[in-house]
Amino acid sequence: MTDPEEWTGAVADAAGALPVRDRAVRFEGHVWSIITEEVDFGSATAHRDVIHHPGAVAVIALDDADRVLLIRQYRHPVGGYLFEAPAGLLDAAGEPPRETAARELAEESGYSATDWHVLVDLYTSPGGSSEAIRVYLARGLTPLADGRPSTGEAEEAHLPRVWVDLDEARDLVLAGRIGSPTAVAGILAAWTARASGWASIRPSDAPWEARDRLLAADRVRLPRPGGA
């Protein structure tokens, strides 16, 4: 007899939303919405609060010496300053994710890149949020002639940058010194990819199945006309 607690299929994320008996919008904010859904688990139902998020991208930028570009940014929800990879929301209507990544790299670091690949895709908090993030690898870096453009965002007024050797960055992650999810995932993915001769990196336009599933299930907070 097959043990129902033993999975025998392919090890890969897949769509399969359970039926929702009822739903109510609890909050509509500038960036995300919070929706309460009554989920039918078959033998029971449960109410779950879900954050509908627009999604995001991040960039692990490596220079010719395999140093990672990190920025130091204040994050109010955790009440502290985090070392992060340049990143941003997918909140510009019609803008492809790779273009968003290039724009965020410029706005948060003052650099452009000529060589782009996908490093890793992840959900940041699938127990409560639909946020899916794609982390890109950017190489062939060049500083912008006019420096970092101003975005008018309070959190981006001052973003000191630092270059960290990829081996050292990995050690900082494993020691708990860096906790931003995109930095953690991106640094470890970059270190692992380099160890295998970059065989695992994907083209910059590789299918993003996680985001496609979220869009199909209407779980992405899409940009509104005129802004978020």
Q: List, by residue number, the catalytic residues.
A: 156
Residues in the chain: 228
Cβ atoms of residues 180 and 85 within 8 Å: yes
Instruction: Report d(CA 116, CA 102) in Å as an integer.
Output: 9
Instruction: Report d(CA 188, CA 194) in Å as an integer.
Output: 10
Closest by CA position to 102, among listed 110, 94, 169:
110
DSSP 223: P
Cβ atoms of residues 101 and 60 within 8 Å: no
